[in-house]
Amino acid sequence: MFMRLNFTRLFAATLLTAAVLCHTIAIAATNPPAFIEKLTYSALETLGDQAIGEKERYSKFHALLSDNVDMPRVGRFVLGANWRKADTAQQAEFQKLYKDYLISAYAGRLKDYTRAKIRIKNTTGVGKNEYLVSSQVTNPNNPEPVSVDWRLRESEDKLLVLDMTIEGISMALTQRSEFASIIQKNGGDINALLARMRSSAGAVSDGEQVSIAN
């Protein structure tokens, strides 16, 4: 009888341990700070890799963005109210151009940061499925650390980047403001923005310039 009770307990304890372990693993699968550390490491490594050509760098960076940034959602956000005014063809072209635009804009801005170190400060939950990861980025040639906050969204046990805020300046909000302004200046014509993006992204999609944004 005693023996049996112990076995039951032991069994229950094992089950409980297993459950806790599984839960921990499930959490670890979407570990926001680790995700950011890995992502920034891969991005800076890709940008600083001397062994690969510009074309390969572009395709690697492209893949990194597609896998880790919620591009369709961010694209809809930065177009704001104009997203709903755009027709399907315009929406599709915008999404394609936006990716190239991001690569050309950020590959250039980040190229001085290839030897930077990132330190995660804290992670805060936002709503039911989002996180804000606060970090400090230190560059060897600048003593002042830069504070960078990452907005992440969790979906189907996968984390994706929504926004990056540098010293309080959100990239998504800044782009939304710029895009809205250029469309408004042209009497609400979304094609004006698309034309502007086409010309700045052209060089990048040809794989000619990644580190030198144009």
Instruction: Name the amino acid, one letter, at 26.
Output: A
Q: Is 157 left (phi over 0), alpha (psi -120 to 50) or beta?
A: left
CA atoms within 13 A on the CB side of 131: 21
**In the set 37, 83, 95, 205, which binds another protein (CB under 8 A)?**
83
Binding of residue 169 to another protein (CB under 8 A): yes
Binding of residue 68 to another protein (CB under 8 A): no
Binding of residue 120 to another protein (CB under 8 A): no
Rg of the chain over Cα atoms, rounded to whole angstroms, equals: 22
- Bridge partners of 147, per DSSP, are 136
CA atoms within 13 A on the CB side of 70: 21
Binding of residue 184 to another protein (CB under 8 A): yes
**In the set 172, 189, 209, 211, which binds another protein (CB under 8 A)?**
172
The least CB distance from residue 49 to another protein, in Å, is: 20
Binding of residue 136 to another protein (CB under 8 A): no
Give how many residues touch another protein by CB under 8 A: 53
Binding of residue 177 to another protein (CB under 8 A): yes
Q: Which of 200, 151, 183 is nearest to 86 (CA)?
A: 183
| Full strand arrangement of the beta sheet holding 142-155 | 117-126, 130-139, 142-155, 158-166, 169-170
Binding of residue 166 to another protein (CB under 8 A): yes
Distance (Å) of CA 187 to CA 32, 127, 193, 197: 42, 36, 11, 17
The least CB distance from residue 194 to another protein, in Å, is: 10
Q: Which window, 21-29, 44-52, 60-68, 77-85, contacts another protein (CB under 8 A)?
A: 77-85
Binding of residue 6 to another protein (CB under 8 A): no
Contact residues toward another protein (CB under 8 A) are: 70, 73-74, 76-77, 80-83, 104-105, 108-109, 112, 124, 126, 130, 132, 134, 142-144, 146-147, 149, 151, 153, 162-163, 165-170, 172-174, 176-182, 184-185, 193, 196-197, 200, 213-214
